[in-house]
A and B are shown apart, each in its own frame.
Chain A
Amino acid sequence: MAGAIEFSTRPLQQGPPAWLAAALDEGALDVRPLLAGGEDPLGAILEAADGIGFGGFLVIDAPFNPSPLRRILAARGFSSYGRRLNGGHWRIYFHLNGAAEWEHDSDVAVMDEGAMVWREEDGLHIDVRKLPQPQPMRAILQLIDSDPALLCLVVHHERNPHFLLPELAERDWRVVRVSEEFQDVRLWLERGR
C-alpha cells in the first residue's frame, strides 16, 4: 500500500535504463527455492544465460542482491539492473548488450497493484508498465489520493494513458510535460495550485 510507505526518507535513485521496458515482458527465473534447499543456482543461471542471444534478456529472482553473479555475467557482456522488491526479494534484469551499463540498482517500493515507486531528483516516480488495465490508473490515483502533500509525480507508462486525464482533472491534477520513448512514455504530473 503506497500510503504506508515513507518515500521521503529513502535515498534518491537513478532512473531505470531504457532497455528495461523490453525486459519487463520476460518471465523470471526464481532461484530462491534452490538457495533455500541448499543448492547453488549458479549452474542453472549460467545455462540460462548461455541461451540468450545478443540483445536478449534474462531475469533472476533472488533473496539478496547477487553482486558476484552480476559481475560474472558482466564479464560475459550482460548489463544488469536490480530492484529490491522487498527485504528478501531482489529482481535482477540482465541485458546482453556488451555490458554497456553494467550495473544499476534501484530501491523501489512495490504497491499492491504491482506498480513500482521510487524517488529521483525530480520527485517521486511510479512505473506502471506491463500492468493490466485498469491497474495503472488505480495505482497512480491511489498514490495521488494517499498523500495530500504530494505536489508532483513522474509516471512511467508504456503508452499514453488517455483515460487518466478525466480522473486527474477531477482531482485538480494536470499533465505538464511528456516524453515518449519506445515503451517508456513519461508524464510529469502536477497538483493544481
Chain B
Amino acid sequence: MMFAGAFMMGAKDRLLPPSVPFRFFAAAILYHVAGWAVLLWAAADIPGHQGGLGPVVAGLHLITLGVLAMTAMGAAYQMLPVATRRQLGPAWACVLSWWLFVPGVAVLSLGLAGGQEWALQGGAALTMAGLLIFAILVGRNLLQVSDLPAVSWALWIALAALLGLMALALALVLDVSLGFLSDRPAVIATHAVIAGYGFMGMLVFGFSSVLVPMFVLSKAVPDAEGKRLAAVSSAALLIAGLGCWNGGGWGAAAGVVLGLAAVALYGLAQRRVLAGRMRKRLEPFFRLLKAGWVMLPLSLLAALALALGGPIDPLAPLWGLLMVFGWLLSFATGILQRIMPFLASMHSGANGGKPVLLSRLTAQPVLTVHAVAHGAAVLLLAVAIVFDLPLLARLGALSGLLGALSFLAFAILMVGRYRAHDRSS
C-alpha cells in the first residue's frame, strides 16, 4: 500500500520527467518568436515568393521544424505512451534527440537564409539525426500496439512520410552544391506536400483522435473510422506526392481531391467527438483548433487550383501560408496552450500535494492577444500575397511576432505560477 504522493513515482509506468517534454515546448516557443522575427525582416519578399534560398524559407523552416515538429516531438514523447499504454523508450534518447534537433534547426535555418553549404549540410545532418531518433522511439512504441488503430495507423503513415521528406530534403540540400536535380521546383513541392500533409498532417489526425476527446471528455474516435481515414489519407498522399514529383497536373489534382475526402472524414469524426462531449463549454484554446480545421480544406483548395494550372503567383505562397500558418500553426499553438498547463498541473501533484489548478496556470488574456494577433497575421499575409502588397505583408508578420511574444508571455507566466505553487506546497 502506498499513499498518493508515492504512487506517481511508481516504476512500472513512470512518466517521463517533466524536463523532457518541456524542453521541447520551450524551444518551440522561442523558435516561434524567431520564425516570425525572420519573416518580419524578410516580409517584403513574401508576396510572390517562389521558393529558393533566402530569409523567407529560413523563417518558414523555423516555424515548420522549430515550432511544429518540435511541439509534435515533445507532445508525442509524453502522450503517446499514455495513449498506447506501452513504454516509449529511454528518456536519454528523447533528450539526445532534443540536443541534436534544436541546434540543427538553428544551423539549417542559417544555411537556408544565407546559402552557406556548411550550415545547410551540418544543420540538415543534425536535424535529421534528431528526427530519426524520434522516428525510432515512436516506431518502437507503435510496434507493440495492435489495439489503437485510429492513432497507430495515422502515426505509421506520418513516420513513413517523415522518412520520405527527409530523403527529399537531403537531395535538396546536396543539390545546392552538386546541382543534380533536373526539376528542383517539383522536388520542393513534393517535399512540402509530404512534410505538411504527410508528416505533420497525419500526426494531427492521429493525435486528434485521442487528444481532442481527452480535452473535451468525449469518446475516442472508433477504430473503423480511424482506419478509413488512414487508408484514404495514405492514398491521397501517395497520389498527390507522385503528381507533384511529375510536375503537378491531373495526378496531383486527383491526390488533392482524395485529400479533401480525407478531410471530410476527419471533420465528421471530430464533429461526432464534439457532439458526445461531457465538457459542454469549449475552452478558449478551441478557437485555434477550429480556425485550423477551417484552414485545412482552404489550403487544399489552393493546392487544387495550383495543380490544375492556376497562377503560381499568388497560389503557391498562398497555399504555403494556409497550410503552415493557417492550419498547422493554429492547431499546434492551440494544443500547446492546453497541454502545457495540463502537464504542469499533473506533474505538480507528483509530490503528493494538491496539484496546481489548470485554470490557475492559464493566463487567458495573453492567450487571447495571441489568438487575435495570429489570426490577423494569417489574414493580412493572405491579402498581401493575393494583391502583392509588401507593406501589408510586413504588418502581417509584425502581427505574427506580437502573437508569438504573447505566447512567450503566457509560458513565462505559467512557469512563474507553477513555481509559486511549488514553493507554497
Instruction: Please report A residues at the B interface, Cβ cutoff 8 Å.
Output: 113, 132-135, 137-138, 141-142, 145, 158-160, 162-163, 165-166, 168-170, 174-180, 185, 187
The answer to the question of B183 belonging to the interface, with a C-beta cut-off of 8 Å to chain A, is no
6 further interface pairs, Cβ-Cβ under 8 Å (given A170-B357, A177-B2):
A138-B219, A158-B85, A159-B85, A166-B355, A169-B357, A169-B358
Contact in complex: A133, B4 (CB < 8 Å): no
Residues of A within 8 A of B148 (CB): 132-133
A61 → chain B, closest Cβ, in Å?
20
Question: Which of B15, B345, B359 gathers most chain A CB within 10 Å?
Answer: B345
Among B5-13, B233-241, B367-375, the stretch that binds chain A is B5-13
Nearest residue, chain B, Cβ from A138: B217
Q: Cβ of A141 and Cβ of B4 under 8 Å apart?
A: no
Contact flags (1/0) for B62-95 with A, using CB distance below 8 Å? Answer: 0000000000000000000011010000000000
Contact residue among A113, A135, A158, A166 (Cβ-Cβ distance under 8 Å from B345): A166
Residue of A with least CB distance to B7: A178
Bound-complex Cα distance A185 to B83 (A): 17
CB-nearest residue of chain B to A182: B12
Number of B residues, CB within 8 Å of A: 34
Contact B82 A162 (CB under 8 A): yes
Q: Would A133 and B214 be within 8 Å (CB), given that A113-B219, A169-B357 are in contact?
A: yes
Q: Is the CB of B82 within 8 A of A170?
A: no
If A159-B12, A169-B355 touch, whether A180 touches B2 (CB-CB below 8 Å) is yes
Q: Are A137 and B217 in contact (CB-based, < 8 A)?
A: yes
Whether B41 is near chain A, meaning CB under 8 Å from some CB there, is no
10 A-B pairs with CB atoms under 8 Å apart are A133-B214, A135-B220, A142-B278, A158-B85, A166-B349, A166-B357, A170-B357, A176-B4, A179-B1, A180-B12
Q: Knowing A142-B278, A165-B355, A180-B12 touch, does A134 contact B213 (C-beta < 8 A)?
A: yes
Nearest CB on A from B15, distance (A): 6
Nearest 3 A/B pairs, CB to CB? A166-B345, A178-B7, A134-B214
Q: How far apart are the CA atoms of A170 and B348 in the complex, in Å?
A: 13
Residue with the greatest number of chain A CB neighbours at <10 A, chosen from B85, B210, B355, B357: B355
On whether the beta carbons of A160 and B8 are closer than 8 Å, the reply is yes
Within 8 Å CB of B99, what residues of A? none
- Report B-chain residues with C-beta under 8 Å of the C-beta of A160: 7-8, 10, 12-13
User: What's the nearest-Cβ distance from chain B to residue A186, in Å?
Assistant: 9
Please report the C-alpha to C-alpha distance between residue A141 and residue B220 in the assembled complex, in whole angstroms: 15
Q: Which of B3, B6, B359 makes the CB contact (< 8 A) with A170?
A: B359
Q: In the complex, A138 Cα to B213 Cα: how many Å? A: 9
In the complex the two chains form, is A133's CB within 8 Å of B1's CB? no
Q: How far, in angstroms, from A54 to B218 measured CA to CA in the complex? A: 40
The answer to the question of B250 belonging to the interface, with a C-beta cut-off of 8 Å to chain A, is no
Is A179 touching B2 in the complex (CB atoms < 8 A)?
A: yes
With a cutoff of 8 Å between Cβ atoms, the chain A residues found around residue B358 in the complex are 166, 169-170
Residue of A145, A163, A179 touching B82 (CB-CB under 8 A): A163
Chain B residue contacts of A142, Cβ below 8 A: 217, 278
B83-A133 in contact (CB<8A): yes
- A185–B7 Cα gap in the complex (Å)? 10
A133 touches B220 (CB 8 A): yes
